[in-house]
């Protein structure tokens, strides 16, 4: 009796890791180009920037013509069947934990995405990480800069995303038709990702400004999360805190739906077959 329970817990943990990892991998492979576009919009400082992109299409076209290469990582936080408020709290806690883990990777990712000359010179992720560590170290000015913004971005997103999806999903009856059931889950996931993206984007803009190139090399203009939000608001207006919203929704709306669907179907298959 004592040996059977740990085996069951280990099997369940394996199911969650495999399903979550598969979901995150599929989502990022499909949607990552939109993350690059989002970051480019967020780091440009108004129409006075000579290199500013005129539209979503212009950004895609410019990046494509310069043959930019893109890479990233993402993770999925899993859930349990718990009361409604607890789902949001669990999502918040999971998002904060995720942010601490992924922030160094985000610093490297943003610095690579912000590089407009990547066709001429594109360092690897490891080379870029070594350069950041050598120049600025591991701290809040180096490989962990923008940590507070990343905490806000992931915490707020996951709190709404998981709380909304797993509570609203059960409010709509399941369909015996597989196609309609897929559409039901996809639609709820799409709405979850869209609402979460609209709420947390000011944190995302602050994160991109802090982790991206500073306006004047050698001078740190964007330092902390709320200081950056206030500065962007004063200099560029309220709408500047929502830069990159369209590509963000295009990525995390459908991407969020894909991620949750892959998670549920992979998890279900593992439960039935393993």
Return the pLDDT at 5: 43
* 182 has a pLDDT exceeding 80: yes
Q: Is the pLDDT of residue 206 over 50?
A: yes
Across 83-94, average pLDDT: 77
Determine which of 49-63, 178-192, 256-270 has the lowest per-residue pLDDT on average: 49-63
* Reported confidence tier of residue 191, pLDDT bands at 50, 70, 90: very high
Residue 151 in this model has a pLDDT that exceeds 90: yes
pLDDT greater than 70 at residue 194: yes
Per-residue CA distances from 84 to 94, 154, 170, 184, 269 (Å): 16, 19, 11, 20, 26
- In this prediction, residues 114-139 reach a mean pLDDT of 82
At residue 7, what are phi and psi to the nearest 5 degrees?
Answer: -65, -40
Q: Per mean pLDDT, which range of 108-112, 151-155, 166-170 is the poorest? A: 166-170
The pLDDT of residue 70 is 36
Reported pTM:
0.73
What does the pLDDT read at residue 76? 41
Residues 243-248, mean pLDDT to the nearest whole number? 91
Q: Where residue 113 falls among pLDDT bands split at 50, 70, 90?
A: confident
Classify each residue of 153-184 as buried b or exposed e, where b means 16 or more C-beta atoms within 10 Å of its C-beta. Answer: bbbbbbbbbbbbbbbebeeeeeeeeeeeeeeb
Whether the CB-CB separation of 153 and 207 falls below 8 Å is answered with yes
- Residue, of 37 and 220, whose pLDDT is higher: 220
More confident residue, 149 or 36: 149
Would you say domain 4-273 falls under CATH 1.50.40.10? yes
Question: Which pLDDT score, from 0 to 100, does residue 10 have?
Answer: 74
Question: How far does the chain reach from its first CA to its final CA, in angstroms?
Answer: 20
Residue 77: per-residue pLDDT: 42
Interacting residues of 258 by C-beta distance below 8 A, sequence separation 6+: 23, 26, 27, 30, 31, 189
At 69 the pLDDT is 39
Query: If phi over 0 gives left and psi between -120 and 50 gives alpha, with beta otherwise, what is residue 67?
Result: left
Mean local confidence (pLDDT), 11-29: 68
Q: Average pLDDT of the chain?
A: 79
258/184: higher pLDDT: 184
């Amino acid at each position: 009796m004592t040996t059977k329970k740990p085996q069951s817990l280990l099997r369940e943990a394996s199911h969650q890791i495999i399903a979550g990892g598969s979901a995150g991998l599929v989502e990022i492979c499909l949607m990552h180009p939109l993350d690059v576009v989002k970051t480019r919009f967020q780091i440009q400082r108004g129409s006075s920037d000579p290199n500013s992109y005129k539209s979503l299409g212009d950004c895609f076209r410019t990046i494509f013509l310069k043959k930019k290469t893109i890479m990233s990582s993402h993770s999925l936080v899993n859930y349990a069947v718990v009361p409604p408020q607890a789902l949001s709290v669990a999502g918040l806690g999971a998002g904060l934990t995720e942010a601490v883990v992924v922030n160094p990777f985000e610093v490297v990712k943003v610095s690579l995405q912000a590089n407009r000359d990547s066709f001429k010179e594109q360092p690897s992720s490891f080379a870029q990480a070594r350069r950041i560590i050598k120049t600025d170290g591991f701290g809040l000015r180096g490989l962990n800069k923008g940590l507070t913004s990343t905490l806000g971005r992931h915490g707020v997103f996951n709190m709404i995303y998981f709380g909304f999806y797993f509570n609203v999903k059960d409010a709509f009856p399941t369909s015996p038709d597989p196609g309609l059931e897929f559409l039901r889950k996809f639609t709820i996931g799409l709405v979850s990702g869209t609402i979460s993206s609209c709420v947390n984007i000011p944190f995302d803009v602050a994160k991109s400004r802090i982790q991206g190139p500073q306006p004047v090399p050698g001078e740190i203009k964007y330092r902390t999360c709320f200081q950056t939000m206030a500065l962007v608001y004063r200099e560029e207006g309220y709408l500047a805190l929502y830069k990159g919203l369209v590509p963000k929704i295009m990525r995390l709306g459908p991407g969020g739906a894909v991620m949750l669907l892959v998670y549920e179907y992979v998890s279900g298959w593992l439960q039935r077959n393993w």
